[in-house]
Amino acid sequence: MADTKIYAASTTAPVNIAVIKYWGKRDAKLNLPTNSSLSVTLSQDNLRTHTTAACSALFTEDTLTLNGELQDVSGARQQACFRELRALRAALESADSSLPKLSTLSLKIVSENNFPTAAGLASSAAGFAALVRAIADLYQLPQNPTELSRIARQGSGSACRSLFGGYVSWEQGTLEDGSDSLALEVAPASHWPQMRAAILVVSAAKKGVSSTAGMQATVVTSALFPHRVKIVVPQRMKAMKRAIEKRDFEEFAALTMADSNSFHAVCLDTSPPIFYLNDVSRSCIRVVDEINRLAGKNVAAYTFDAGPNAVIYYLEENEDIVLGSLKGGLDGVSGWKQDVTAAGVEGLDASFLEPLKEGITRVIMTRVGGGPVSVEASLIDVDGQRSSA
């Protein structure tokens, strides 16, 4: 009788927010970057993708369902991930003939985010990291997260960094086949667990220019860009690793803000220019600068990806100053923890907070967190149907 068993594995994976930004591909097909980057992995308590990967002779084609909606998997990115993972499984099967031939079966992937996909948060990073990790677990692959990052990178560049928790670099590599363009753990979350992040969700609208289209245009047209990738980023990568090693928030914050500004500067220097920041984003920058000025040191660091949302990093010990100040202007917005009651930094003029009131729809309070976790909860039931965990 044919084997109609359903093989399944489930995982959750985190979002990461870069403090040294990836922007630019030197090879679009393999998703090879023009510069290295570095990110902080955020806690899965607040933001995570839960994915179940299953395979069975009962399934007739590869499918992916995200938040209840069937996705197109014919794209090169999904196909590259499926192909590479199947090849690793096939190698195991040819070395050990007792293993079931999972590499020949169709895959059914079911994924759910615990946050709105449209909020412009880095959902593709968590999504591809979870997809790769879940299939690797299903196939019982021996590859470590760095080896798997080579595959996740081909789904979405930033996804390779979501295979680790804590502080993670993506080393650009030099080889043409991309085999040395990999994610590495700079430090685990436990090295500097006091790192917090407040995400100010500025707009729930989908981003205007996709990161892929945007970075391609920057590479081709920006005159500032070669300076960023050749000089600025290599120096900042070194300095940022040092700041993390020494748990030096002053330096971490200075580099984070400078690199966000540099990334948005090359966007503006692109033809036609790309505007990811809006007036509300710029007001967030001004508030953070003012909080730091009044505190007499960097207690908060803003950073923005390819959209208007602000991510503000700060240390637990400065929560009263940073969150207290922001909450002063955003008290009516959802997402605050009850215990944020502090008045904030002394002397902050209400006019800095006024522009935020109109534009911020939600706050997500989170922290540095761990990497993907294998979980029992399955999104596919014993009959191979989608179930809600």
- The contact set with ligand PMV (CB under 6 A) reads 18, 21-23, 37, 122, 124, 156-158, 211-212, 305-306
**Closer residue to ligand PMV, CB minimum distance, 12 or 169:** 169
Q: Minimum CB separation from ligand PMV for residue 371, in Å?
A: 16
DSSP secondary structure string for all residues of 138-194: HTT----HHHHHHHHHHH-GGGGGGGSSSEEEEE----TT-TT-EEEEEE-GGGSTT
Supply angle C-alpha 69, 74, 80, rounded to 5. 115
The least CB distance from residue 18 to ligand PMV, in Å, is 3
List, in sequence order, every residue forming a beta bridge with 16; answer none if it has no partner: 41
If the CB atoms of residues 52 and 149 are measured against ligand PMV, the closer one turns out to be 149
Closest to ligand PMV by CB, 8 or 311:
311
User: Which one, 106 or 146, has the nearer CB to ligand PMV?
Assistant: 146
Secondary element (H or E) of residue 242: helix 233-245
Contact 327, 320 (CB under 8 A): no
- The nearest distance, CB 73 to ligand PMV, in angstroms, is 18
47 contacts 15 by C-beta, under 8 angstroms? yes
- Closest approach, Cβ 19 to ligand PMV, in A, equals 9
Q: How far is the CB of 358 from ligand PMV (least distance, A)?
A: 25
Smallest separation (angstroms) from ligand PMV to the CB of 39:
6
Residue 21 or 133: the one with the smaller Cβ distance to ligand PMV is 21
Give the pairing type, strands 7-14 and 48-56.
antiparallel
**Among all chains, which residue has been given the structure tokens 């290599």?**
234
Would you say 163 and 129 are in contact if contact means Cβ atoms under 8 Å apart? Answer: yes
For residue 103, what are its two tokens? 């590499």
CB of 53 to ligand PMV, least distance (A): 21
Closer of 225 and 336 to ligand PMV (Cβ)? 225
Sheet holding 167-171, edge to edge: 16-20, 37-41, 167-171, 182-187
* Greatest C-alpha distance within the chain: 77
Tell the smallest beta-carbon distance from residue 174 to ligand PMV (Å): 19
Is the CB of 122 or the CB of 380 nearer to ligand PMV?
A: 122
Residue 21 beta carbon to ligand PMV: minimum distance, rounded to whole angstroms: 4
For ligand PMV, give the closer residue by CB, 35 or 378.
35
> Which residue lies nearer to ligand PMV by CB, 21 or 362?
21
Let me know: does 296 contact 347? Beta carbons within 8 Å.
no
* Number of CB atoms found within 10 A of residue 380's CB: 21
* Tokens describing residue 155: 């789904």
Min separation Cβ 249 and ligand PMV, Å? 20
Cβ proximity of 166 and 186 under 8 Å? yes
The contacts of residue 210 (CB under 8 Å, 6+ apart) are 306
Residue among 37 and 298 whose Cβ is closer to ligand PMV: 37
Q: Which two tokens stand for residue 127?
A: 């999504």
- Chain Cα centroid distance, residue 189: 15
Q: Are 19 and 313 in contact (CB under 8 A)?
A: yes
Both tokens of 80, joined, read 């590259």
